[in-house]
Each structure stands twice: as C-alpha cells, then as structure tokens.
Amino acid sequence: MKAASETLTPEQTTFLVRRRVARLATAGAAAEPHVVPVCFAYAPGSVYIALDEKPKDVSPARLKRVRNILENPNVALVADRYSEDWSLLAFVMVRGRAGLLEPGEEEHAAAVRLLRGKYHQYEKMRIEANPVIAIRPTRASSWGALDTPDDERPPVLDTIRGRRSVRRYLRKEVPAELVDRVLEAARWAPSPHGRQPWRFAVITNEETKNRLAEAMGGEWRSNLRMDGQSPEVVEKRLEGSRRRLLDAPVLVLVCLYLEELDTYPDAARQQGEATMAVHSLGAAAQNVLLAAYDLGLDAGWMCAPLFCPEKVVEALALDPRMIPHALLTLGYAEADPPKRRGRKPLDELVVYRD
C-alpha cells in the first residue's frame, strides 16, 4: 500500500492535525455503514489509527472496522468542531483507501511513534503489538471556520503535554495578531526581581531570514569542521538548518538582557544573578511555546544563536545589549512531528525526602 500524494489543503491539514478525535466510517461487503470514534495521527499522505487496548470485547483482528476494511478498503474519516457559537462550526472529511500495517514493518514502527507522540496515553499501551490502520487519502472536503482557533481550550496540563517541537511547517501565513498574543504570554513569565531580563526580535521577512541563516551558518560550518565532520555531512546539516529557518513563517529570537539586574561586589553572586536571568529566559521561551500551541500554532526551538551571538546581533542590527540565546520558530505544523520523544518516568527524575 503506497502513500498517496498530498490531497489536503494547508487549512484542512491544520484543522485535522489539531483534532484529538475523528469518526471513521467503514462498510464491508454488505455495504452496511459502520462508524466509530477514533484517535489518529497524521503524516503527509497518511492517517494512522491504532488498534489499542481501550476496553473492547473482541480482539483487534475481530473488530468490525478491521473486518470491513479487509472486505472493502474504501473508508471516510471526519473530524469536526462543534460550538454553541455556530460561526465556529467546521469539519474536514477525508476519503481514501485503508489497509493494515503489521508489526515489524518500518512504517508500522513510524506510525506507532507518531501516535505515541500525539497521545501520551499510548506510552503505557502495547499498541506496537497490534496492526495499525493506515488510510491513504484520495479526496478531502471541508466546510466552515477551519482557520478560527477553538473557543474551548484544553486544560493547561493537556496543553503542556500536547505541545511538541515542530521542525516542518506548512506554507501558511501566521496572522500578526496571533504573534502578538504569543509575545504577550512571554511578557508574563516569572523573572528575578520582576526585571524581565529578556528582549525579543520578530523576523518574518525572507531577506532578513536569509541574512540570519548566512550569519549563523558560517559559525556552524567552522564548529562542525572542528568536530571532524566530513564536508558533505557539514553541508547537508547546514542546508537542513537553513531550510528550517527559511520555511518557518515567523522567527522569534529570544535574547538575554542583563542591564537592569542587580550588581554585586563579588563574582559568585553576580554569576548567580546572570544564571537567574537565563532561568527566566527559559520560562519566557516556554510561555511562547505553550501560548503558540494553545492558539492553534506550533513552535520549535533552535539553540544556534547561543553559539554566535555577535554574528546574530550584527546580521539583525540589534542593540548590542541584547544577547541572542534561542530562536523559536512559529507556524502551522505540516503534520504530526515524526521525532517526538517520550519522557523518562517520574521515578527516574524525582527523589523524595521526608
């Protein structure tokens, strides 16, 4: 079963990728419709559905949806949004052909990773032991306010767990108003003495992004060579990083700003003051990532500016008191990110002392 070329528009993709549940319609040889709610993940050209261990009466292979697909691979999947404010109603319907990926197949493993990345509940389920349903979309249709952010926001803990690093974006513009709301969230980060030791530079212009990529690329090239990497590998990694910068609709450069912090006569306390500022910068960056996710955007983190702050200041003609640390990319995810990492269990991270 081959992945079809892309059939969804960017708006349909963005809407679909952010839904947590869809309805899958199948019909077996007798053409009797059968519809069930499903959790799913999206990759370009495929929708994946796990056969999981949510309480069910029959083994995965005996499930009606599976038997139907084996008799007739034509399926439809609909993901929708309901709101009492009917100006927000929307749905995307994907039609396509479905089949089963079996454990051991490379695509099966990739699909399991994708599903676990989207649903933390799958971390504890042995979904890798069962086949995965793969739908190759052939047609997509939609209706309604696809581009409007959801009015019902998930609880903050779900936002924290749902946020993911995105490295590939759709070619879809981010409204300036959303960027402002994301930065507003950064403004509310905790900071030492409330001094807010961070400043931001927002970059959307192609030419400026190019200048920034050039400036950081030069430094990275010499660092990678110093690490003994072959010239081909160096150029390939550089090109990947350049593309990431250029393809992201918005870049937010997070800079440390130490000017308004307390000064001390001794080096140790001065160092502590600077470290607190870095902690606070991390909190501001996390606010950006969470607010972006909450508003229907996605974000990624690039540490490259940290290694060539002067070059970045020069390329962007910044106030030299701004010390570039992190580059956050903002946009709409092309798909669920394939490399989402799991997390260590709490008992590896925490010790308790009475």
Ligand X SMILES: Cc1cc2nc3c(=O)[nH]c(=O)nc-3n(C[C@H](O)[C@H](O)[C@H](O)COP(=O)(O)O)c2cc1C
Binding mask 257-296 for ligand X (x = CB under 6 A): ----------------------------------------
Kindly state the helix (H) or strand (E) to which residue 23 belongs, with its residue range. Answer: strand 22-27
* Smallest separation, CB 28 to ligand X (Å): 39
Q: Which is nearer to ligand X, 47 or 299 (CB)?
A: 299
Task: Rule CB under 6 A: say whether 157 interacts with ligand X.
Answer: no
Residues in 167-196 that interact with ligand X by CB under 6 A: 167
Q: Which is nearer to ligand X, 157 or 267 (CB)?
A: 157
* Smallest separation, CB 113 to ligand X (Å): 12
Q: Which residue is nearest to ligand X (CB)?
A: 165
Is 342:128 a contact under the CB 8 Å cutoff? no
Instruction: Tell which one of 303, 317, 346, 351 touches ligand X (CB under 6 A).
Output: 303
d(CA 289, CA 145): 24
Task: Rule CB under 6 A: say whether 165 interacts with ligand X.
Answer: yes
Task: Rule CB under 6 A: say whether 341 interacts with ligand X.
Answer: yes
Burial class (CB in 10 A: 0-12, 13-18, 19+), 33: exposed
Kindly state the helix (H) or strand (E) to which residue 142 belongs, with its residue range. Answer: strand 132-144
**Helical pair 267-294 and 176-187, crossing angle rounded to 10 deg:** 140
d(CA 122, CA 113): 10
Kindly state the helix (H) or strand (E) to which residue 134 belongs, with its residue range. Answer: strand 132-144
Task: Rule CB under 6 A: say whether 302 interacts with ligand X.
Answer: yes
Instruction: Considering only the stretches 54-62, 159-167, 228-236, 248-256, report the one whose residues sit in contact with ligand X under the rule CB under 6 A.
Output: 159-167
Binding mask 56-85 for ligand X (x = CB under 6 A): ------------------------------
CA dihedral 108, 110, 111, 112 (to 10 degrees): 90
Instruction: Tell which one of 118, 164, 168, 199 touches ligand X (CB under 6 A).
Output: 164
* Smallest separation, CB 303 to ligand X (Å): 4
Task: Rule CB under 6 A: say whether 242 interacts with ligand X.
Answer: no
Task: Rule CB under 6 A: say whether 301 interacts with ligand X.
Answer: yes
Which residues, 6 or more positions from 23, have their beta carbon under 8 angstroms from its beta carbon? Answer: 35, 36, 37, 38, 77, 78, 79
Q: Which is nearer to ligand X, 226 or 303 (CB)?
A: 303
Burial class (CB in 10 A: 0-12, 13-18, 19+), 248: buried
**What are the structure tokens assigned to 247, written together?**
């393809």
Contact footprint for ligand X (CB under 6 A): 164-165, 167, 301-303, 340-341
